[in-house]
Amino acid sequence: MYRELYEQAQAVKAYSYAPYSHLHVGAALLCADGTMYTGVNVENASYGGTICAERSAAVTAVSHGNKDFEAIAICSDEGEAWPCGICRQFLYEFAPDMKVITGNSEEELEVMELSALMPKGWTL
């Protein structure tokens, strides 16, 4: 299951828009009902406008009425890619206990709980 998710992240990476960093990132987010949403990093000439692949997938899921995140797989041109701090906090909002999956290939995946990557995340 995590393998399939990772393969999807790997596949959508091709859609990444990264003319500035040239680092293409893909993410695949699995929700509790089994639906999967994908996302890529989309950069902008105003660099701060860039959105990461993970947040792109999360925004797509929420936009479809799905906030019950179970797992997210991330894949970059350089293989293993753990979410940045902003993405950790963004995902933490919805599912602190979700699984985060990455790795250098579908054969060697690493899985961690978001709460371990983002202990004591911000809540209101």
Nearest to ligand THU of 83, 96 (CB atom): 83
Residues for the chain: how many in total?
Answer: 124
Segment lying near ligand THU (by CB under 6 A), choices 45-53, 62-70, 98-106, 111-119: 45-53
Name the one residue in this structure whose structure tokens are 């959105």. Answer: 51
54 noted as active-site residue? yes
Q: 81: closest CA among 52, 60, 47?
A: 52
Strand partners, 115: none
CB of 4 to ligand THU, least distance (A): 20
Per CB under 6 A, 87 contacts ligand THU: yes
The answer to whether 100 and 74 have CB atoms below 8 angstroms apart is: yes
Catalytic site residue from 7, 43, 54, 70: 54
For residue 26, give both structure tokens: 């893909």
**Contacting residue, 43, 72, 75, 103, with ligand THU by CB under 6 A:** 43
* Residues involved in catalysis: 54
